[in-house]
Structure formats: C-alpha cells, structure tokens
Amino acid sequence: MRTSILAVGTELLFGQTVNTNAAFLSDKLNHMGFDVMYHFVVGDNPDRLREKLAEAFSDTDLVLLTGGLGPTQDDLTKEIVADFMGAELYRDEKVIEDLKAFFERHGRQMSENNIKQAYLPVGCTPLYNASGTAPGFALEKDGKIAICFPGPPREMKWLWENGAKQYLEGFMEKKMFYRVIRTIGRGESDLEMDLMPLIDGQTDPTIATYAKEGECTLRVASQRDTMEEAEKAVEEMIARIEGIAGEYIYSYDDEELNEVVVRLLKEKGLTISAAESCTGGKFAAAITDVAGASEVIQYSYVTYSCQAKTDMVGVPAEMIEEFSVVSPEVAEAMAAGARAASGADIGIAITGYAGPEADPGREAGEAYIGYAYGDKTGAVEVRTSRNFRKWNRNYFVLRMLRTVYKLIK
C-alpha cells in the first residue's frame, strides 16, 4: 500500500526537534511491506495541514500523522482529519476514564482542556494511550486510511506497538515475518559480497543490509500465506547466513550489543571490570546503561595517563617504555591488572588513539583491546583509519563489547 507520513508541529520547522518519528514509522512500515513514498512536515496551521493532507491522499492511500493531538488550542490534527474524511466527533467515555485515572496516578488535577482529547471521529478505531493522555486513532473511508499518533516519540512508539501495528496487519493479504540480525566486525559492502549468493535473485525471503556506526544490520523478511510458512522461510535463510557470516552476528532480534553482553554476563554469573584509556569511561558507561548492571560490574578504571596505568592496574612502567603505551602488550597487562585489582571474573582494557592527535609515526584510529578471562588472555588490534574522535571512540567501545561477547559466548 502506498504510504505517506505527515508530521505536524511548528517545533520541527524551527529545527528544535528532529523528526525521528518519521524514521521510526518508515522503518516499521517497510518491514511490513508498505511502500513509504513521502514524508511531509507542516506547522500547527489548519489550512496548510489540510492542504498537505490532501496532497498526501492524492498519491497515497495510507497516511500516518504524528503530532497535534494534545489538549491545547493549536492541536488541530484530529479535527482536520475528521473533517477531511467527513466524520463527526464523539465523546469517548473510555478516554475520559483513562484521563481521570492518569491524573489521579500523577496526583494532579485534570484541567478542563484535557476533555478535548476525549473526542474522536465517529467510526474510527481508537488507539487508547496508556503511555500518555492523548489517544490516537485509525480512520478509514473509501479505501483511504488515516492513522493519527501523538507527537512525543515515546507515546507514538507505544501506540504503534499497541494498536496501530495490529490494525495495519489486518490490511496485509500475506503474513509477514522478519528478524533483524545485528553484526559487527565486517563492513557492509564486504558482508554484502559474502552474502551475494543468498541475496542475488532472492525474492522471498528478502535480505536487506544496512550500515550503522561500525555495525551492519541484516533484515531477513518473508511474506507467505501463513505466519508459519513465513517464519520457517526466515529461519532457514538465517541458518544459511550463519554458515557464511555467523562469526559476525551478535544479536537476532535487534538487541543492542551492550544489552546482549550484560544479559550473557548475568546468565553466566560473571563480573567484569575495565581499564580504559582512549575510551575514557565509555565502555563502563555502556555496561551501566543497562538496568541491573550492578550484578556484573562493580569496579572500573579510567587510566588516561601512563602513570595511571601503572598506579591503578599495575602495568609496569618498563613495559610501557619498551613497547609504547599503545601496544598489545600494554593492553593485555591493563586487562589482567583490572581483573586482579577488581577481583572480577573478566578484565577488559583498551589503549589507542581516538584522534585527532596521535604520537609521532602513529595514526588516529589505531587501538589495542586487551582481555583476561580464566586462562584466556591476549589483545586484539583495531584500526579504523578514521580521524573522527567521536566515531572512533564509539567504535572502540563496540569492539570491546564484541571482544567480551566472543570470550563468554
């Protein structure tokens, strides 16, 4: 089905807010087999909103709208859409109850203007909102469908997962199943080459690759008459992909690498400690970003100078002298030292050049990741040959996470 996404909100036209809603919905819609043809953004202006709505429907049959469903006077999306599709508004008592409960939960008095949110188009499919106050809705007329979401990304996503997605599945002739495989350690073009025999001339399941900072994501999707067939086709294809690129895969359901690592550490009852030079705390931050990380990390070290590497994790000054501070030897010693100093099961460490500066004769993007787990100790080399400090630091952390992942998997 040809689809448009129409975002309503002056803050988007001011550049104060990035339209991440359009990207989220486009991704989801494409996964389901809908063709997203256009994104539009208009301000909180009834005439221009009506105009763009007409434009969107002139060339596409499904229009997803975000924003403008709130209680204030400039929230007009619902009224415009209802009027455009020739529907009256009715007062939805379920929404009234939800609103009362919401304000009670938050110990706040409900102001009168909130009642505005309880009016929905006659004949719509309400999308009741347990993540905020403004409900969404889907409205169909003469084969044209409008689905309205509140603007806050958290609420929009909640309504997508808890109503909109299920509503749209009703319009798919075939059943769609897909899994998102995340990989690290091989570039997109290389991975595409590896998988070319599978991708080439492949109609179903489809394999889509896309690159994301130092990672590459594969989406394997199948549309069949039954969900069972689609799922079977996807799993068979994944098995073939594993045969070719298994070593680069770290997650199968779009789970972040730090979440995967923390989950595995918990499952195995292991603790970890890091000695970080060029990442300066970003690895520990990535681990502690995951709720419940206290089970797996208690002590971690930012050793940003040579002296700190000696004082905090016992790297001999002579070793730094002999091999240089950015070396596999020092990385390994840092990891062993972090493990010893913390008493953790696993020590992980990094020393390298994030850039823009590097020592004479060395290049930004060169780093060594040390590890120490049981009798497995060593170091791996990383070279990004990039001089974007931020990019390098993020990539270094991903490679540290991957090193841990491979150690304990």
205, 175 in Cβ contact below 8 A?
no
Segment 325-384, which members bind a copy of itself (CB under 8 A)? 342, 355-357
Could you tell me the smallest distance in angstroms from the CB atom of residue 89 to a copy of itself? 27
Question: Which residues, 6+ apart, have CB-to-CB distance to 189 below 8 Å?
Answer: none
Question: Which residues, 6+ apart, have CB-to-CB distance to 358 below 8 Å?
Answer: 364, 366
Residue whose CB is less far from a copy of itself, 42 or 333: 42
Would strands 346-352 and 272-276 be described as parallel, antiparallel, or unpaired?
Answer: parallel
**Pick from 341, 318, 339: nearest CA to 330:** 318
Q: What is the x/- site pattern for a copy of itself, positions 33-72, by CB under 8 A?
A: ---xxxxxxxx----x---x--x-----------------
CA angle 280, 284, 290 (to 5 degrees): 145
**What one-letter code names the amino acid at 239?**
A
Across the strands, what pairs with 4?
38, 63
Burial class (CB in 10 A: 0-12, 13-18, 19+), 93: exposed
Could you tell me the smallest distance in angstroms from the CB atom of residue 222 to a copy of itself? 18
Query: Does 171 interact with a copy of itself (rule: CB under 8 A)?
Result: no
Query: Does 398 interact with a copy of itself (rule: CB under 8 A)?
Result: no
Q: Which of 166, 189, 226, 307 is in the footprint of a copy of itself by CB under 8 A?
A: 307
Burial class (CB in 10 A: 0-12, 13-18, 19+), 262: buried
Query: Does 389 interact with a copy of itself (rule: CB under 8 A)?
Result: yes
Would strands 35-42 and 89-91 be described as parallel, antiparallel, or unpaired?
Answer: unpaired
**Pick from 55, 42, 68, 54: nearest CA to 148:** 68
Query: Does 130 interact with a copy of itself (rule: CB under 8 A)?
Result: no
Segment 256-285, which members bind a copy of itself (CB under 8 A)? 276, 278-285
Query: Does 113 interact with a copy of itself (rule: CB under 8 A)?
Result: no
Q: What is the x/- site pattern for a copy of itself, positions 180-219, by CB under 8 A?
A: ------------------------------x---------
Q: What is the x/- site pattern for a copy of itself, positions 5-24, by CB under 8 A?
A: --x---xxxxxxxxxx-xxx
Could you tell me the smallest distance in angstroms from the CB atom of residue 35 to a copy of itself? 8
Query: Does 288 interact with a copy of itself (rule: CB under 8 A)?
Result: yes
Binding site for a copy of itself (CB under 8 A): 7, 11-20, 22-30, 36-43, 48, 52, 55, 210, 276, 278-285, 287-289, 291-294, 297-305, 307-308, 311-312, 342, 355-357, 389-390, 393
